[in-house]
Structure 1
Amino acid sequence: MEFNTDALDVGDRQNVDLSQFEKKDYISPGRYLVQITLNKNPLPGEWNVEWQTTTAENGTQLCLTRDLLLQWGFDDAFVRELNSKTSCLNLIDKPEFSAKLDKSTMRLTLTTPQSWMKYHAKNWTPPEYWDEGVNGALLDYNVYASQYSPHDGDSTQSFSAYGTAGVNLGAWRLRSDYQYSQNFVSGNSTDTDSRLARTYLFRPLPSLASKFTLGQYDLSSDIFDTFHFTGTTLESDESMLPPDLQGYAPQITGIAQTNAKVTVSQNGRVLYQTTVTPGPFTISDMVDTLQGQMDVTIEEEDGRTNTFQVGSASVPFLTRQGQLRYKTSAGKPTSNSHNDVHNPLFWTGEFSWGWLSTTSLYGGAILTADDYQAFTSGIGFNLNMLGAVSFDVTRSQANLTQETGNNSQHGYSYRMNYARRFDSTDSQITFAGYRFSDKNYVSMNEYLDYREGDNGSDNEKESYVLSFSQTIAPWDMSAWLNISRDTYWNAESNTSYSLSLNHSFSIGELKGLSASLAVTRTRWNDTDENQYYFSLSVPLSAGRNLAYNQQRYGDNTTQSLSYFDSSDRDNTWNLSVSADSDEISDGEPALRGSYQHYAAPGRLSLAASVQPNHYSSMNLGWNSAITATRYGVAMHDRPNGNNARMMVDANGVSGIALNRGRSVTNAFGIAVIPSLSNYQTTTVQVNNNTLPDGVDISSPVFRTTLTEGAIGYKALNASQGYQIMGVVRLENGTFPPLGVSVVDSKTHKDIGLIADDGFVYLSGIQDNSVLSVSWGEHTCEMNPPNHSNLDSALILPCRYTHQARENHESD
């Protein structure tokens, strides 16, 4: 490219240096440490790449070696076809390929046809782009405290905490799940429970699309019941697959009568805990790796509890033709309460193989070193328009030691799973399952109970699970139904039904009204519990609404009037007054209020209730986490499970908001974004509308793909400094040529460009900065003032460096 300097409206047309713009994409020969974006996908880490002198038009070209292309995900066959007499392959000259380096951010952007790459799934990031993150430590915690004070009698208090502590070292992740609870009566401790529910080490194996786990863990199986054990597991990891092929997480619904605590647990280990307001609630953010039955406990303010079970099982899946998925574990069963390791040694394995394009074969076995074996075989079908279905049969053989001697028995268990979405009617059967076990069938959990002397465990007979949703668009109505039923050979059945209907409508000028009806019926431990809940909500303004609720529990009917305010997304609260017929006549309604505050360090929840002459109560909850690496430490909201998290370093600049503003850099310039999806590309963006004054960020948007449990790290290259308008003047009174860049000598970052007669606008200047200007063989340096100046142009003296002074004098 050649410039006609006569066209420039400048006073001194001879004092112009546009050499850095004359050759397209010219980069001085040498090796550079760069960040790379390939087809809009950021590659993890930094890469050392080289530009070499060439006879091409731009004078230099990027050297691409075979190893680099393979690491970046280029197809092996395509790379083999590239011939070259040197280590630099003949790729840069292909017109379909482009490479551009942004020298201000040292980011190399590559664009290439997708056919040259290994993978083609549009909603999936290939393993070459996954980032294992940096080394660090983490502590995720949830704290809950409550007090109930009856009008007559002793007050009770409770305190509980649960969470995860962990360390990341390379691809390895060490995790320890802990929980603690303590109860008090009038301030005196009555009982305490503390435990490390499980401690384990794991790492992803992307080359195998698998995950390896070592330590105390829970059996992950699509075939057998889960139990706690100490040992090892190697399993295919569905989260490494495209999202359309991944699993199913249960949705939990119920109705609370007061400000209640809801706890979800499995085998005594707390999985989830939250506080809900009176009325129906839904928990839909459970992790999708849970298997087996889960216990749900609703604890009301006055201590009353309601417990039921929810089943979690995989939707029938089909393995791609010719592919194999597997899980295998070995170890010894472990007590949840005391982490005691018991006999017997066991091994279990299962697989799913894509036999045909619409048919998969699957099966598995669980074997002990002593007296228990179980084998399963099954088949799954893709019925296209009719959904997906699977059938399997399990045979168990067990020698049960009882007081009368040895009792050897074998039995069978039969299971069917089904899933289907009906697009024509906008209906979906999320999961439907049926299982029948004959009287002599013994599960692994039952066998372990017998070994420990517990002969009273329930012997399951039948199990039904159904989850169905329906949208009726013409009526603006949606319906959701969940049915769960378990029957036993030696115990009463347990049944749970949940039905909810929601309808949106308008009456005259009143728009956006909604009505809902929820019905639940639970039979648990020979007790029937029926609840009905009706609600009518009237919007008052954006984020504010008034609601009338009627709830019937047993023979008791309660009415309430509530006001909700979520107009500030970081501060939500509600107030309500409720009473049954007797309390209305006595003038003793219950007053309740709750408040939630969302902030960068975590989430605070408060709830309080008072009923004259009856009781008062208060609940407090705090969800938070701490992540620390060699780059810094920050508090943040608690993530879900082993989801990845992203540490962002703003170079000491505080108050920078990320991704909708709830993650904000702290006083040390560090922020952590929790709960990024594992193995899926996430875009992180700086909220430029709320940037503090004087802050400049060269790359406000970036993308990342992190492995499970990783602590990602990204330096924002943020600068908080001064802005100056000035005129750069040399020692002889002249000006540097037009078109020359001004560079920070410490960071090597371009912060301005010389205009006509030495005029320049500079931004991001730090205290005691040294700025350099180079053209040809000349270099001069200047020291700008430590304050901003945008009112008038300052004179900025630029003094030649020693070598540049000699070159200037020789000229």
Structure 2
Amino acid sequence: MLAGPRNSTVVQQAAQFQPLLLAVAIAAGLASCSALARSIADNPLYAAFNPAFIHGNDVDLSRFEHGNPVAPGSYRVDVYVNQVWNGRQEIQVRDGETPGVPSSYCFNRSQLAGLGLDIEKLPDASAELEGDDGCLDIGRLVPEARVNFDLGELRIDLSIPQAYLSRIVRGYADPRDWDRGVTAAFVDYNANAYRNDNRGSKQTQYYAGLNAGLNLGDWRLRHNGSYNQSSGDQGSSSGEYSSISSYAQRDISSLKSQLTVGEYYTSSELFDSVPYTGVQLASDDRMLPDSQRGFAPAIRGTAETNAKVTVRQGDNVLYETNVAPGPFIIDDLYSTGYAGDLEVTVSEADGRSRTFTVPFASVAQMLRPGVSRYSVVAGQYRNDDLDDAPHFVQGTYQRGIGDQWTGYTGSIIAEQYMAVQGGLALSTSLGAVAVDVTHSQASGLPGGDGLGESASGQSYRISYSKLVEPTGTNFVVAAHRFSSEGYLNLADYAQLSSSNGGGVLRQRNRLQINVSQPLDGFGNLFLSGSAQNYWNASKGSDMSYQAGYSNSFRWGSFNLSASRTRDGAGESETRYMLSLSMPLGSSPRAPYLNSSTSWSDSGDANAMVSVSGTHGDRSQLSYGVYGARSHSDGENSDSGGANLQYHTAKTNISASVSGGEGYHQLGLGLTGSVVVHPGGVSFSQSQGETRVVVEAKGADGARLLNSSVGTVDGGGYGVVAGLMPYRQNEVALDPKGTSTDVELQTTSQNVAPRYGAVVMLKYPTVIGQPLLLTLRDEAGKQLPVGADVLDGAGNSLAMVGQGSRVFLRSEERQGHLQVRWGEGPDRQCQVNYQLPGEAGEDTVPFLQAEAVCTKRPGRTELARR
């Protein structure tokens, strides 16, 4: 978005033609080698031109000797420091105070810290800061710093030596750059209709899921709900709307937290998540830099010289940096999950190197040293089926104590209920483990189910993970929990204490385990399973587990698996499955053939073959057809069906049909979003909490590169959803598909939105017919190269290039131009023009015309060449 004087937009057209001018000028300047050599010695960015080699040798080229000049004014641009996006800021451009230097790029003192500059490291900075009038020029303030302003992209690149920068954590986005967006409203919808005919019994079902939001300042209001309706062939019909949640939420930036008021859910880090109506203040890890989220160990070592430190995990290089002699610490590694120990290599300047290993394993409870996570909730347990749900207060706290330790605790207090938890997570060379115990105490219970009017008990939980490096075996015990008979969680207590609540199954043991084993290029083996039993159930344990093998080849892939399940009644089943997948061709959009066969020890069997694929340059159309045969209870049955999904810029449309012996079914669906913003109403196929509304007036048809099929609509707006909050997001447009009369002044911008924000990004456009104009003076001679071309209001439009040609866009059928190549009436002339032909009749990419530039007012008609 451009903010500044009136001529700051149209100057961008000049930037398109300047490279051609500079190429000619540089070639001509080679004749003055001795003067150029002396100038370069004083200033390596200096370029001298010999006007004798340029037609019209009285043209003044001094303004190009230090780079392309930028018109003075105020510009809102993306600032990059050493190629890393720093934020979007307002900067002032002034005429250069040093003779021959065309422009100064001004930052104020408050912006310096955001750029990462360490003021104390700058030589002679005090004098510059004392004289600060709101214009601190980085190129003059910081030794060896360079500034490059790309007017076409509204981007300024600062090259600053690392010695003058403070240490900035990787993945950091300054909260001052978090954009809360504009006042806006939206509705994300998912609507489906089904018609089923089963042996003459017909039924129609309708479903609509809604996620509605309204953003007002810092607050975000949200509502989630769904509507279901069904009707039968007898004329009976029933419909019901269910409200899932309704709440207001806002960021608390100073605490890196979210404040939520209304119907919401508690966090699940320590206690089981429950629905409630009330207020919650909880940490939001998304506000932390990427290098502080999750867990990764701190690496400590000592360098004897200026050394290079390389951190590897398996065959992957995770981190590489240069360190000075002496102790060093690397504490900003990105979280890498369960991928194994870290190998650290210190390469000294004299060629020596040494390697050591840092154990690394993690569980979900672990945090980095000094990082905290908390939540505080006060409200009422939410369950519409209970008459008297309890009020409660819940608090949790986690903190990284050291490089390998994380401690956590929490408590729930209700009217006649209390639960307290304490735990510790540890990362060792033998793996990562977390152990915690929760004590609960409840009173006022109705009795029965093995419990009296009061109950107390404990629940013990252990989590473990380990990657065995030599074999690549990854063990993850997601959770093993044992609860004593008197232990109740909050949901159990709410159900038992309510006057209309029923009995609940109180869990005794639960075990989950996952093991994966790569076979060194020969596929992968996996094993997963879970088992649980209950105190107040006479039946046995629920159990399920699955084992399998998968592999991929050039022709496709296959998967073989076996699973076994057993319910509490002792009924069990073993099922086997073989699936194959392969492309039907070598092109990237070739359809895929998928087949699967499954059978069980009870004699049931099923076989299915399907073909699926996509069509369109942006995969707008996806399709699938299938056929299946089943064998059950000694009988065979056949079925088949097809489905289509078409993705448009404004919605997604789906249709399906299926049928078998005695039944058939039809289905239709729509998904998409409606966004109301300051510019109007926009329809979009993309959904998500955090989104951008692109404004590019006149650029209808331009593609939104962040969206699969999104485009700018006829009103000049487009919607991009699914952005990462609190992170840099590049939002780009592809002008392909727009009218030739429209030019995008910038095609890419960066934004760091807050969670749930609706941000408006303006992409300036110039609308008008493109015109290549060849000018001559009254004597028929060419005009000087580099002469400025201005409109009737004095705004700079372009410059005269090679062959006395000017490229510009004309918004009107006729207009007035002024050409100026110096001071005084003898160094300027005027053109009054009228475009040839009738409006709208030209289909060529641009018009070509000739005109005479007179030194006194007059009118010159243009004739098409």
TM norm. shorter chain > 0.5: yes
TM-aligned CA distance change 1:324 to 1:735, over 3 Å: same
Q: Could you report, residue by residue, the CA deviation over 1:333-355 in whole angstroms, capped at 9, with x for unpaired residues?
A: 22257xx9955432211111221
TM-aligned CA distance change 1:440 to 1:654, over 3 Å: same
Q: Could you report, residue by residue, the CA deviation over 1:544-571 in whole angstroms, capped at 9, with x for unpaired residues?
A: 2333321336532122332223355322
2:650 to 601, 625, 628: 601
How far is the alpha carbon of 1:654 from its aligned partner?
Answer: 1.4
**Partners in 1 of 2:729 and 2:471 — Cα distance?**
33
1:22 to 39, 61, 65: 65
The amino acid across from 2:65 in the alignment is E
**What is aligned with 1:548?**
595
Residue 566 of structure 1 aligns to a residue whose secondary structure is strand
2:427 to 357, 382, 401: 382
1:418 to 456, 464, 467: 464
**What is aligned with 1:139?**
187
**Partners in 2 of 1:176 and 1:463 — Cα distance?**
34
Paired residues for 1:100-115 under 5 Å: 100-104=148-152, 106-113=154-161
**Partners in 2 of 1:423 and 1:71 — Cα distance?**
42
**What is aligned with 1:373?**
418
Give the strand-richer structure, 1 or 2.
1
- C-alpha contact (below 8 Å) 2:61/2:786 kept by paired residues: yes
Paired residues for 1:119-198 under 5 Å: 120-152=168-200, 154-186=201-233, 188-198=235-245
Gaps of 5+ in 1: 249-313, 506-510, 806-811
Number of equivalent positions: 719
- C-alpha contact (below 8 Å) 2:188/2:212 kept by paired residues: yes
The amino acid across from 2:620 in the alignment is D
**Partners in 2 of 1:95 and 1:353 — Cα distance?**
42
- C-alpha contact (below 8 Å) 2:786/2:821 kept by paired residues: no
**Partners in 1 of 2:393 and 2:781 — Cα distance?**
83
The amino acid across from 1:444 in the alignment is L
TM-score normalised by L of structure 2: 0.75
How far is the alpha carbon of 1:79 from its aligned partner?
Answer: 8.5
Paired residues for 1:303-382 under 5 Å: 315-335=363-383, 344-368=390-414, 370-382=415-427
TM-aligned CA distance change 1:132 to 1:78, over 3 Å: farther
**Partners in 2 of 1:767 and 1:61 — Cα distance?**
38
- C-alpha contact (below 8 Å) 1:656/1:692 kept by paired residues: no
Residue 85 of structure 1 pairs with residue 133 of structure 2: no
**Partners in 1 of 2:123 and 2:651 — Cα distance?**
51
**What is aligned with 2:491?**
445
TM-aligned CA distance change 1:428 to 1:728, over 3 Å: farther
Q: Could you report, residue by residue, the CA deviation over 1:518-565 in whole angstroms, capped at 9, with x for unpaired residues?
A: 444455675656544322334321322333321336532122332223
**Partners in 2 of 1:396 and 1:194 — Cα distance?**
36
- C-alpha contact (below 8 Å) 2:455/2:486 kept by paired residues: yes
How far is the alpha carbon of 1:163 from its aligned partner?
Answer: 2.7
Residue 649 of structure 1 pairs with residue 649 of structure 2: no
Residue 63 of structure 1 pairs with residue 102 of structure 2: no
Q: Could you report, residue by residue, the CA deviation over 1:70-118 in whole angstroms, capped at 9, with x for unpaired residues?
A: 3455457668994133124574322342223334555433333456555
2:557 to 508, 514, 527: 514
**What is aligned with 1:636?**
684
The amino acid across from 1:795 in the alignment is E
**Partners in 1 of 2:762 and 2:714 — Cα distance?**
16
Q: Could you report, residue by residue, the CA deviation over 1:178-205 in whole angstroms, capped at 9, with x for unpaired residues?
A: 1111122227344322122111111223
How far is the alpha carbon of 1:651 from its aligned partner?
Answer: 1.4
1:574 to 613, 624, 629: 624
**What is aligned with 1:700?**
747
- C-alpha contact (below 8 Å) 1:726/1:794 kept by paired residues: yes
The amino acid across from 1:723 in the alignment is P
Paired residues for 1:517-528 under 5 Å: 517-523=560-566, 526=569, 528=572
Q: Could you report, residue by residue, the CA deviation over 1:630-678 in whole angstroms, capped at 9, with x for unpaired residues?
A: 13432223434x3x21222221311111227522112222221221122
TM-aligned CA distance change 1:497 to 1:653, over 3 Å: same
The amino acid across from 1:603 in the alignment is N
**Partners in 1 of 2:234 and 2:849 — Cα distance?**
70
- Computing the radius of gyration from Cα coordinates, the structure with the larger value is 2
How far is the alpha carbon of 1:361 from its aligned partner?
Answer: 1.1
**Partners in 1 of 2:237 and 2:846 — Cα distance?**
71
**What is aligned with 2:551?**
503
**Partners in 2 of 1:530 and 1:774 — Cα distance?**
88
Which moves more between the two structures, 521-530 or 212-221? 521-530
**What is aligned with 2:272?**
225
TM-aligned CA distance change 1:411 to 1:801, over 3 Å: farther
How far is the alpha carbon of 1:734 from its aligned partner?
Answer: 6.7
**What is aligned with 2:438?**
394
Aligned-CA RMSD value: 3.7
Residue 401 of structure 1 aligns to a residue whose secondary structure is coil
**Partners in 1 of 2:231 and 2:185 — Cα distance?**
33
1:589 to 623, 632, 638: 638
**What is aligned with 1:659?**
705
Q: Could you report, residue by residue, the CA deviation over 1:231-266 in whole angstroms, capped at 9, with x for unpaired residues?
A: 221111111234466569xxxxxxxxxxxxxxxxxx
The amino acid across from 1:710 in the alignment is A
Residue 448 of structure 1 aligns to a residue whose secondary structure is helix
The amino acid across from 1:63 in the alignment is C
**What is aligned with 1:618?**
666
**Partners in 2 of 1:740 and 1:636 — Cα distance?**
46
**Partners in 2 of 1:547 and 1:341 — Cα distance?**
51
**Partners in 1 of 2:758 and 2:268 — Cα distance?**
28
How far is the alpha carbon of 1:150 from its aligned partner?
Answer: 1.2
The amino acid across from 2:721 in the alignment is P
- C-alpha contact (below 8 Å) 1:141/1:638 kept by paired residues: no
- C-alpha contact (below 8 Å) 2:561/2:577 kept by paired residues: yes
TM-aligned CA distance change 1:695 to 1:480, over 3 Å: farther
The amino acid across from 1:22 in the alignment is E
Residue 130 of structure 2 aligns to a residue whose secondary structure is coil
How far is the alpha carbon of 1:681 from its aligned partner?
Answer: 2.2
TM-aligned CA distance change 1:329 to 1:758, over 3 Å: same
**What is aligned with 1:302?**
none
TM-score normalised by L of structure 1: 0.80
Paired residues for 1:453-468 under 5 Å: 453=499, 454-468=501-515
How far is the alpha carbon of 1:166 from its aligned partner?
Answer: 0.4
- C-alpha contact (below 8 Å) 2:697/2:716 kept by paired residues: yes
TM-aligned CA distance change 1:692 to 1:522, over 3 Å: farther
TM-aligned CA distance change 1:243 to 1:180, over 3 Å: farther
How far is the alpha carbon of 1:503 from its aligned partner?
Answer: 2.2
TM-aligned CA distance change 1:801 to 1:425, over 3 Å: farther
How far is the alpha carbon of 1:429 from its aligned partner?
Answer: 4.5
Which moves more between the two structures, 669-678 or 793-802? 793-802
TM-aligned CA distance change 1:26 to 1:721, over 3 Å: closer
**Partners in 2 of 1:743 and 1:467 — Cα distance?**
71
**Partners in 1 of 2:794 and 2:290 — Cα distance?**
41
**Partners in 1 of 2:829 and 2:220 — Cα distance?**
50
Residue 706 of structure 1 aligns to a residue whose secondary structure is strand
- C-alpha contact (below 8 Å) 1:779/1:800 kept by paired residues: yes
Q: Could you report, residue by residue, the CA deviation over 1:446-465 in whole angstroms, capped at 9, with x for unpaired residues?
A: 11112223240111111222
Residue 454 of structure 2 aligns to a residue whose secondary structure is strand
